[in-house]
Amino acid sequence: MRLLFIGDIVGRPGRAILLERLPGLRRDWKLDFVVVNGENAAGGFGITEVICNDFLDAGADCVTLGNHAWDQKEALVFIERQPRLIRPLNYPPGTAGRGANLLEARNGARVLVMNAMGRVFMDPLDDPFAGVDREISACPLGMGCDAAVLDMHCETTSEKYSMGHFCDGRVSLMVGTHTHVPTADAQILPGGTGYMTDAGMTGDYDSVIGMDKSEPIQRFTRKIQKGKFEPATGLASLCGVAVETDDKTGLAKMIAPVRLGGRLAEARPGAWD
């Protein structure tokens, strides 16, 4: 089974390259399932129903979120009627939407998608480790699902690595989001789980993590907020990670970083070209 995870879509440039490239990637790489992190898609902050539907229409099977999940207030409403939009599972009970869902891939396989948010240097939500454990225990790989993907949205590499090893052998892919920089550590962990600390962002890298450079530099050098953050509007790169799973076990047998277009050096799963 071929899975593609695409990192945080930032603003209009990120949306544009995703909508332009995803249909061709689905066709050329014969992708069975695609997950897109969309929590920065609407002007860098949150997601709207129109944008979410655009991603799904372009070929995404699922859209995950993060700490900006509710920046566009309409998300609190439309997430209830959109089963393919997944917010962090460790929000308190009663929060709108769902933190995990079992979805059908193009090849008919069952894919469990989970989204969790870290607690180091972020909002102190419920324990993500306990929440993830509940989900994968209720829908175990190879029994309840044919593949399982976890988007771990957090600041620190230590928390992401800890979650990766915590899930090793129990999910197909554990990939980090939020820090917007693609890491060089794509690997298959000892138990068979594909792992990458951060998928990187899909947006303009001539920026400060996707935002126009002037305001972040102003705040760092002057300690004065002069305006609001606005997404950079230059040429975007599409970043993420590709995984191929074993049909019998659901575990990873190949993992490769993906970087297409824009300023970054290109990377793609050579075995799929």
Residues near 185 by beta carbon (within 8 Å), at least 6 away in sequence = 195, 196, 197
pLDDT digits (tens, 9 = 90+) for 5-29: 999 999 999 999 999 999 999 999 9
Rounded distance, CA 97 to CA 83, Å?
8
- Crossing angle of helices 157-167 and 128-138, rounded to 10°: 20
CATH at 207? 3.60.21.10
Structural domain harbouring 181: 2-272
Which pLDDT score is estimated for 214? 86
Which pLDDT score is estimated for 227? 83
**Tally of structural domains, the chain:** 1
- Give the chain's residues under pLDDT 70: none
pTM: 0.96
> Hunting for tokens 């890491």 — which residue is that?
183
Which pLDDT score is estimated for 156? 96
pLDDT digits (tens, 9 = 90+) for 217-226: 999 999 888 8
What would the two tokens of residue 219 be? 């705040």
> Hunting for tokens 């799929």 — which residue is that?
272
Residue 49 CB coordination number (10 Å): 16
68 labelled catalytic: yes
DSSP letters of 133-202?
A: HHHHHHS-BTTTBSEEEEEEE-S-HHHHHHHHHHHTTT-SEEEEESS----S--EE-TTS-EEES----B
